[in-house]
A = this chain, B = another copy of it.
Amino acid sequence: MLVVSKASQFRVRFEPDGAEVMVDAGTLLTLAALKAGIELRTSCGGSGTCGMCGVWVKTGELSTKVSAGLTDREYQHGLMLACQSRVVEDVTVLVSGPPVKDTCHLHEEFTGGRLIPGIASAGWNYRPPVTKYALKLNEPSIKDNQPDLKRLRKALSKKGHDRLNISYSVLKTLPDVLRAGNWKVTATVVDAWPCPMLVNLQSGDVSGKHYEVILDVGTTAIRGQLLDLNTGMVVSEAIDYNRQSEFGEDVISRIVYSRQKGGLTRLQKAVAETIDGIISKMSDKAEIKKEHLSHLTVAGNTVMTQMLFSVDPEPLRLSPYVPAFDTPPQVSAKSIGINLPEHVYIYAMPCVSSYVGGDIVAGVIGTGIYQRERISLYIDIGTNGEIVVGNSEWLVTAACSAGPTFEGGGVKFGMVASKGAIEGFTLEPETQKPSLSVIGGIRPGGICGSGLINIVATLLKAGILGQNGKFNLDADCSQVRQGDDGPEYVIVEACNSLNGNDIVITEMDIDNFIRSKAAIFAGCHTLVESVGLKFGDIDDIIISGTFGNRINIESAVQAGLLPDLPREKFYYVGNGSLLGARLTSFSKELYQEGITLPGKITNFELSEDPSFMDNYIAGLFLPHTDKNKFPSVEYAV
């Protein structure tokens, strides 16, 4: 039996991170973890069946339930499931597994890496901006026959909602829903700016089923997570290529395509269909009906966001590069062609400028760089490279076109970071033969962004690749051969590959990589200098981007992608866009801060600054033409 101590709040400490938090008596440990910035893995949505959120109690006690997710042996060894355990006194727990990564990796391995705590937004409470209220209304009588809507408004007013907009779809079925539920109903309220809205009314108490979909709408790939808003857990994930890619690889070519007759409509349909597929995949996997989805949050770059809302993107590519909107109004996702019930409204993270969009605002919100005095350099590596520098006092941002290299585009055997992608790459010391690690542990099918970085850094260090990006044909390396497109390096032979082809990397691939990394490095360099700083003044360098398990910081510096700074300054947060979208879905405070944040960020147009082009050209070398910029990098040649 559970005896709750009389103190109303208790301290919970999470090892090995050391994060501490004060919570109310009876708080679920998963929510305490969330508040502390510790994210626990789960695949069952907190029902106690997947067994992934295990903790060991080191000091103090928890009130826990035995559940199917733990074996008897685990239980006897003191393992408890956080989702089944409540705080009843001061307690220190050791988290058993690794935290959930912020990447949509689609595989179960985890190879470590520094994660969110210490670098995430702080000071927020778990109070999602989308709420489901189970209401019991008084049944009307001849003495009390006020309108249904008035009765409902009164009940919602008691929940703090005095001036609610009502969606027409709620109005249309209002009398039937109230009566079918015998005056017990569940109301879904979106605390939207500038006016909260009642988006859904369901008969009976269905407040236990309350899910949010979050999407990182990227130029090349779209990544989704399905969140259980009752537990704050990620219950499933999915990724797919953005079907817009068939109309152009980068945002500029898609904007150009949108000028064709019907072009924008086709682009919009393509992205909506991709989203439909991802949502279906996630809800099927988690066995969640779409009627129980309460809301959709998207974070995408400005071009992607604008096209998703069918708004002409042409002004984004022409000087003076003006976006149509910062925060679009929340509308039913259905009204923009997404196959969801009418009650699912869509919030798009706001955009700053033509090339700094909601994904970056999400990253800033998620990592909390706008909250701290320390100066951060936030780099989001994708088809576009977006960069933010600043702290709680000031923030500047810029974007550069990196090309699709880091997401598998422009690389002969490139692919997104999903099952079968080569990620880890080293050379065996004795034979100098490639040694690989592959996502999902299956045969390799291609090379993802982090794999490419590792390959380039390794071959450079080994002298197989020259600083000019050409293979050193004098080196005695049996993997290098002449291919159809010139010299190439054989990473996997056909007999070992997933599709029965040799997997190679060509000089053209290396060229594309060099241009991509040069653009990002030059962008960082130019932006940092634009505010009168040097790289050495930066306290934290935060890397966002979907690189399989993680980006290898060492390789990225070696290859000249990231500045050569003390490695302990680097944090890899995985997909910063999803991180921010997730925290925004968890917290009204962060949602509100997100709305006003773009107004506090100064946009910097790299294309208008001649020093950017100089920096870019200087970076078209491995790692850089200026060796002094990379003192820690050793070269074989």
Task: Say whether A194 contacts B165, CB under 8 Å.
Answer: yes
Q: Which of A228-257 contact B (CB under 8 A)?
A: none
Give the one of A323, A329, A336, A603 with max B CB within 10 A. Answer: A329
By size class, the interface of chain A is: 35 or more
Q: Which residues of B contact A354 (CB under 8 A)?
A: 145
Task: Say whether A319 contacts B171, CB under 8 Å.
Answer: no
Report Cα–Cα, A325/B171, bound state, in Å.
Answer: 8
Q: Which residues of B contact A329 (CB under 8 A)?
A: 165-168, 171
Q: How far is the CB of A508 from chain B (nearest CB, A)?
A: 35
Task: Say whether B314 contacts A175, CB under 8 Å.
Answer: yes
Q: Which residues of B contact A599 (CB under 8 A)?
A: 150
Task: Say whether B168 contacts A326, CB under 8 Å.
Answer: no
A142 at the interface (CB under 8 A from B): yes
Which one, B150, B320, B325, contacts A174 given CB within 8 A? B325
Task: Say whether B605 contacts A142, CB under 8 Å.
Answer: yes
A589 at the interface (CB under 8 A from B): no
Q: Which residues of B contact A328 (CB under 8 A)?
A: 149, 166, 171
Q: What residue in chain B is nearest A306 (Cβ atoms)?
A: B175
Task: Say whether B195 contacts A324, CB under 8 Å.
Answer: no
A21 at the interface (CB under 8 A from B): no
Task: Say whether A164 contacts B311, CB under 8 Å.
Answer: no
Task: Say whether B320 contacts A142, CB under 8 Å.
Answer: yes
Q: Which residues of B contact A351 (CB under 8 A)?
A: 147
Report Cα–Cα, A336/B145, bound state, in Å.
Answer: 26
Task: Say whether A163 contacts B194, CB under 8 Å.
Answer: yes
Task: Say whether B141 contacts A326, CB under 8 Å.
Answer: no
Which one, B174, B193, B324, contacts A148 given CB within 8 A? B324
Task: Say whether B168 contacts A324, CB under 8 Å.
Answer: no
Give the one of A141, A167, A325, A335 with max B CB within 10 A. Answer: A325
A441 at the interface (CB under 8 A from B): no
Report Cα–Cα, A331/B170, bound state, in Å.
Answer: 12
Q: Scoring A residues 596 to 614 as 1 if CB is less than 8 Å from chain B, else 0, what string do you get?
A: 0001000101001000000
Q: How far is the CB of A232 from chain B (nearest CB, A)?
A: 29
A140 at the interface (CB under 8 A from B): yes
Task: Say whether A322 contacts B145, CB under 8 Å.
Answer: yes
Task: Say whether B320 contacts A175, CB under 8 Å.
Answer: no
Q: How far is the CB of A11 from chain B (nearest CB, A)?
A: 40
Task: Say whether B309 contacts A195, CB under 8 Å.
Answer: no
Task: Say whether B324 contacts A175, CB under 8 Å.
Answer: yes
Q: Which residues of B contact A321 (CB under 8 A)?
A: 142, 145
Report Cα–Cα, A108/B136, bound state, in Å.
Answer: 56
A146 at the interface (CB under 8 A from B): yes
Known contacts A165-B194, A167-B329, A194-B163; A323 and B148 CB within 8 A of each other: yes
A18 at the interface (CB under 8 A from B): no
**Total copies of the chain:** 2
Q: What residue in chain B is nearest A145 (Cβ atoms)?
A: B320
Q: How far is the CB of A313 from chain B (nearest CB, A)?
A: 8
Q: Which residues of B contact A195 (CB under 8 A)?
A: 163, 165, 194-195
A577 at the interface (CB under 8 A from B): no
Task: Say whether B172 contacts A311, CB under 8 Å.
Answer: yes
Q: Which residues of B contact A171 (CB under 8 A)?
A: 309, 311, 324-325, 328-329
Task: Say whether A149 contacts B320, CB under 8 Å.
Answer: no
Q: How far is the CB of A463 from chain B (nearest CB, A)?
A: 45
Q: What residue in chain B is nearest A335 (Cβ atoms)?
A: B168
Report Cα–Cα, A484/B333, bound state, in Å.
Answer: 63
Report Cα–Cα, A171/B330, bound state, in Å.
Answer: 11
Which one, B147, B165, B314, B325, contacts A326 given CB within 8 A? B147
A179 at the interface (CB under 8 A from B): yes
Q: Which residues of B contact A319 (CB under 8 A)?
A: 142
Known contacts A195-B194, A315-B179; A148 and B325 CB within 8 A of each other: yes
Q: What residue in chain B is nearest A151 (Cβ atoms)?
A: B322
Q: What residue in chain B is nearest A319 (Cβ atoms)?
A: B142
Q: What residue in chain B is nearest A179 (Cβ atoms)?
A: B315
Q: Which of A113-133 contact B (CB under 8 A)?
A: none
Report Cα–Cα, A166/B336, bound state, in Å.
Answer: 15
Q: What residue in chain B is nearest A149 (Cβ atoms)?
A: B325
Q: Which residues of B contact A179 (CB under 8 A)?
A: 315
A312 at the interface (CB under 8 A from B): yes
Q: What residue in chain B is nearest A607 (Cβ atoms)?
A: B142
Report Cα–Cα, A146/B323, bound state, in Å.
Answer: 7
Task: Say whether B147 contacts A320, CB under 8 Å.
Answer: no
Q: How far is the CB of A340 from chain B (nearest CB, A)?
A: 16
A353 at the interface (CB under 8 A from B): yes
Task: Say whether B608 contacts A142, CB under 8 Å.
Answer: yes
Known: A149-B328, A194-B195. 4 other contacts (CB 8 A): A165-B195, A168-B309, A171-B309, A171-B311
The 3 A-B residue pairs whose C-beta atoms are closest, nearest first, are A195-B195, A163-B194, A149-B325
Residues of A within 8 A of B (CB): 140-142, 144-150, 163-168, 171-176, 179, 193-195, 309-312, 314-315, 319-329, 331, 335-336, 351, 353-354, 599, 603, 605, 608
